[in-house]
Amino acid sequence: MPRALLDTSVLFAAAYRRDSAHDDALPILRGIDDGSLPEGVVLDYVLAETLNGLTTHAGHDAAVDLLDRIEENTRFHIDSLNGDALATGKALFRQQQPLSFVDACLVGYMRTEGLGYLYAFDDDFDAVDEMYRLDTATDPYDPN
């Protein structure tokens, strides 16, 4: 199945109604859920970052709700960085000033796993070659 990576900016915004990007993020998660978009990959780093942010801004129950929804949905896949992806992420972090460490690890994962698409609202990713940032509920694998 085609897959795309998810950034914290999309997961957090979808789960937190007060986020300014909530109305843009929710259709992305719903599209993954209903099969109109590729399956979603959530790195453990991103999951931690998202759940910590939700706990701070929306409370523990909201964070647990998102965790449960991701874990119970077979179209979402929680994955970890392997050694090569982590090494690539660390190297990118040292070289690409606008990228946070988690963002650099996302790019490292994409490069080592051969994924080309990332759902993210963070335009810092636009400085990275060989990947495409999607900020709407668009299926990059659909030729139409």
Give the residue ranges of the chain where pLDDT is below 50. none
Is pTM beyond 0.85? Reply is yes
Domains of the chain (ranges; CATH) run 3-134 (3.40.50.1010)
For 76-115, the pLDDT digits (tens) are 999 999 999 999 999 999 987 788 999 999 999 999 999 9
**Predicted local confidence at residue 144, as pLDDT:** 74
pLDDT at 127: 85
DSSP the chain: --EEEE-HHHHHHHH-TTSTTHHHHHHHHHHHHHTSSPEEEEEHHHHHHHHHHHHHHT-HHHHHHHHHHHHH-TTEEEE---HHHHHHHHHHHHH-TT--HHHHHHHHHHHHHT--EEE-S-GGGGGSTT-EEE-SS--TT---
